[in-house]
Amino acid sequence: MRLKVNDVHINYRIDGPDGAPWVTMSNSLATTHRMWDAQMDAFTREYRVLRYDKRGHGQSDVAPGPYSFELLADDVQAPDTETDEEPLPAAGGESSGMPDAGPQDDSATEEVLIGSDVIQDAPSEPVHETAPLLDEGDEPSAA
């Protein structure tokens, strides 16, 4: 499903049984929500899983920057404000060593960073300025 969030269409996918606990999985830089495909059989046995393509990735629109953490948090929270879905209580993912902007309220019960370095005092610069560029022909990987 594509929802309009702050004038940009964001691509979301929801899988798993109705009424199950939620987990949100975001993509890394230069990937899409499909980076989690291999884990979906295991996760959707017990969880309702929200995956989405971050701005400028996959089927989500590209918008001019800068992207603030508040803006990225709006992208994560859109399905529970725009649909009849329950709130999304957990988040996972990383961007260039910086935790994703998860919900800015108390709805997130846990956050798991996968393949990330922890930055104690994350810089306040816009996220797009920290993103590395791929050379033409390079293939991103989700390890």
Instruction: Confirm whether 135 is domain-assigned.
Output: no
pLDDT digits over 54-91, tens only? Answer: 999 999 999 988 888 888 888 888 876 655 665 555 44
What's the alpha-carbon Rg for the chain, to the nearest Å?
15
2-5 and 22-26: which strand pairing? unpaired
Local confidence band at 22 (pLDDT 50, 70, 90 cut-offs):
confident
CATH assignment of the domain containing 110: 3.40.50.1820
CA distance 93 to 28: 7
pLDDT digits over 85-103, tens only? Answer: 655 554 455 554 444 545 4
Instruction: Confirm whether 137 is domain-assigned.
Output: no
DSSP code at position 130 = G
CA distance 4 to 48: 22
Of 16 and 107, the structure prediction assigns the larger pLDDT to: 16
**E strands, 29-71, in order:** 48-53
Instruction: Confirm whether 140 is domain-assigned.
Output: no
pTM of the predicted model, to two decimals?
0.67
Measured distance between the N- and C-terminal CA atoms of the chain, rounded to whole angstroms: 26
The pLDDT score that the predictor gives to residue 133 is 46
Tell me which residue range forms the domain holding 62. Answer: 2-130
Instruction: Confirm whether 46 is domain-assigned.
Output: yes
pLDDT digits over 23-47, tens only? Answer: 888 888 888 999 999 999 999 999 9
Number of domains within the chain = 1
